[in-house]
Amino acid sequence: MNRARIGAVADFCAGEPVPYFVDGQWNQGTDTPIAVIDPAHAQPVCAVAVADQAEVDRAARAARAAFDRGAWSRARPDQRSRDLARLADLVERDSEILAELETLQTGKPIRESRGDVARALDGIRFYAASARNIRGEVIDVSPRHHSYVVSQPIGVVAAVVPWNVPIVLTVSKVAPALAAGNSVIVKPSQTTPLTALYLARLWEELDLPRGVYNVINGPGRSVGEVLCVHPLVTGITFTGGTETGLHLGRLASQQSKRVMLELGGKSPNIVLADADLDKAIPGSANAIFYGQGQICAAGSRLLVESAVFDDMVDGVATFAQNMKIGDPLDDGTEFGCVTSISHRDELIGWVDRAVADGARIVTGGKAAVVDGLPDGAFMQPTVLVDVPPTAPISREEVFGPVLVIQRVVDLDQAVAWANDSQFGLSAGVWSRDSGRAREIAGRLEAGVVWINDYGVFNPAMPFGGVKLSGSSHREWSHLALDAYLEHKSIWEANS
């Protein structure tokens, strides 16, 4: 039996291809549907309808028309707040369906998917509350004028979402944009569109204004890029590969659109000699192996002071060897599969090239075999040592469960190696000396730094990077809300 037909998910996938959602209507499109593949089973979950360029234009026009009608864009902030809270209630009601869809399309363990849905739910509730806090200000600059600033939505936002954490990254873009009063068109990855489409079902169930939340499927070049350069699209929010994001940024700059980019990372995780290894070992292992390493903020470079280097290598390797690799839908599975067989082969290729350059495999480095799922895209959690800091695997984003552990002589070398990167998304520091850890955190060129922890998120805290890891805008927190607002200065002459 196809595993997509388990439980309530069967209803959502019935009558495939699953249509996309534009202007409050479900559409089958005219192009050939795209199969969504369960990477653990190497079988289709379902097929989804694909938009063409004419449908992209229709979506943009519908979103702009909805914005101009004002049922959402000019609604009182407290009304938008109540509607987003109602949406959150339905997400909570259907959280298990969303988690199962997420696991089926990504291959991540169901326990991770449940955590991702909970994180997305928290994000919707956060921005439901934040909508009430949109305000302007009076600035007294002239006795002849009443001068003030009002905050207004920017218009139509194109949200381009990647395949690795689709429910979280959809919400991180959609929730603040909607809270601010914008219309949104989501272009999910063509391999993982199901949770964004399910949110459209919930939007429809609540009878919320048509044209405000739209989802279109299709390839990046023929759908995503066309959407982003459409003249009626005002803002672009993109998470994905660095080259693609920079390409979209160049295109958008020609039209002076607002662009928010969250791109790649090669995040350093520093363990000092005085660190509590009982915490640093599992924390550093989870930093890379959570999500099968397919997380932009994954702690893929572990920089360890010499005094504890061997203990950290042994501890992290043992942790990796003891992880239960299995069927992602099993509650006991700790480590699922990567997104596809081709991606797994690419990851193994990275390891093989590193070994050819002198690296040593401590554990992993090969495909994993799971009983009952012989065709699944499973890979062993992998730990490498003896890797020079200049090696490609030390500098480029691998995007998989491959950890490079390097020995450093002191904190100055650790900081220097950590910052010697084109990326600057996130970093970690482990030390019992809080003052020393804070000093290092201040010196690291990263948008997010965790001290004695890794990978903790909350919608109240901003997330984003520096250098090639992204634009100056941040996702989450009040800063993300501000990114979807225009601040208009009004001068009113006294009569």
Convert the pLDDT of each residue in 228-243 to its tens digit.
Answer: 999 999 999 999 999 9
Question: Which one has a higher pLDDT value, 224 or 3?
Answer: 224
The answer to whether 382 and 397 have CB atoms below 8 angstroms apart is: no
Q: What's the 3-state SS for the chain?
A: CCHHHCCCHHHHHCCCCECEEECCEEECCCCCCEEEEECCCCEEEEEECCCCHHHHHHHHHHHHHHHHHCCCCCCCHHHHHHHHHHHHHHHHHCHHHHHHHHHHHHCCCHHHHHHHHHHHHHHHHHHHHHHHHCCCEECCCCCCEEEEEEEEECCEEEEECCCCCHHHHHHHHHHHHHHCCCEEEEECCCCCCHHHHHHHHHHHHCCCCCCCEEECCCCHHHHHHHHHCCCCCCEEEEECCHHHHHHHHHHHHCCCCEEEEECCCCCEEEECCCCCHHHHHHHHHHHHHHHHHCCCCCCCEEEEEHHHHHHHHHHHHHHHHHCCECCCCCCCCCECCCCCHHHHHHHHHHHHHHHHCCCEEEECCCECCCCCCCCCCCECCEEEECCCCCCHHHHCCCCCCEEEEEEECCHHHHHHHHHCCCEECEEEEECCCHHHHHHHHHHCCCCEEEECCCCCCCCCCCECCEECCECCCCECHHHHHHHCEEEEEEEEECC
* β-strand partners of 302: 269, 405
Question: In Å, how far are 158, 303, 383 from 234, measured between CA atoms?
Answer: 8, 42, 44
- For the stretch 179-215, pLDDT in tens is 999 999 999 999 999 999 999 999 999 999 999 999 9
Mean pLDDT of 462-469: 97
Q: Write out the two tokens for 364.
A: 């992993």
Q: Which pLDDT does position 15 carry in this prediction?
A: 75
> Is the Cα dihedral 282, 287, 289, 290 positive or negative?
positive
Edge-first strand order for the sheet with 145-153 is 137-138, 145-153, 485-493
CA distance 411 to 222: 47
Q: What is the mean pLDDT of the chain?
A: 96
The whole-number average pLDDT for the span 390-415 is 97
Q: Considering the chain, what percentage of its residues have pLDDT values greater than 70? A: 98
Is residue 8's pLDDT more than 80? Answer: no
Count how many residues are written for the chain.
Answer: 495
> How many Å apart are CA 213 and CA 206, to the nearest integer?
12
pLDDT of 5 over the 80 cut: no
| pLDDT for position 1 | 35
C-alpha to C-alpha distance for 28 and 466, rounded to whole angstroms = 40
Catalytic residues: 262, 296
Tell me the pLDDT tens digit for each residue of 266-304: 999 999 999 999 999 999 999 999 999 999 999 999 999
Dist. CA 385–CA 366, nearest whole Å: 16
Residue 346: alpha-carbon gap to chain centroid = 21
95-127 pLDDT tens trace: 999 999 999 999 999 999 999 999 999 999 999
Percent of the residues in the chain that have a pLDDT greater than 90, as a whole number: 94
CB atoms within 10 A of CB 71: 14
Sheet (strand 156-160) strand order: 25-27, 20-22, 213-215, 183-187, 156-160, 235-239, 258-262
Of 387, 465, 469, 388, whose CA–CA distance to 422 is shortest?
469
Is residue 2 pLDDT above 90, yes or no? no
Mean pLDDT of 370-399: 97
Q: Is the pLDDT confidence value at 80 over 80? A: yes
Residue 461 has pLDDT above 60, yes or no: yes
**What tokens does 392 get?**
């490609």
- Tell me how far apart the alpha carbons of residues 407 and 417 are, in angstroms, rounded to a whole number: 11
pLDDT tier at 253, thresholds 50, 70, 90? confident
Q: How much is the pLDDT for 376?
A: 98
- Report CA 251 to chain centroid distance, whole Å: 22
Residue 39 has pLDDT above 80, yes or no: yes
**What is the reported pTM?**
0.97
User: CB–CB of 304/280 below 8 Å?
Assistant: no
Beta strands 43-48 and 137-138: pairing type? unpaired
- When pLDDT is cut at 50, 70 and 90, the band that residue 16 belongs to is confident
Tokens of 469: 């890891």
140: number of Cβ within 10 Å = 9
Give CA separation, 277 vs 282, 304, 307, 330, 393, in Å. 8, 11, 12, 30, 25
CB 178, CB 212: distance < 8 Å: yes
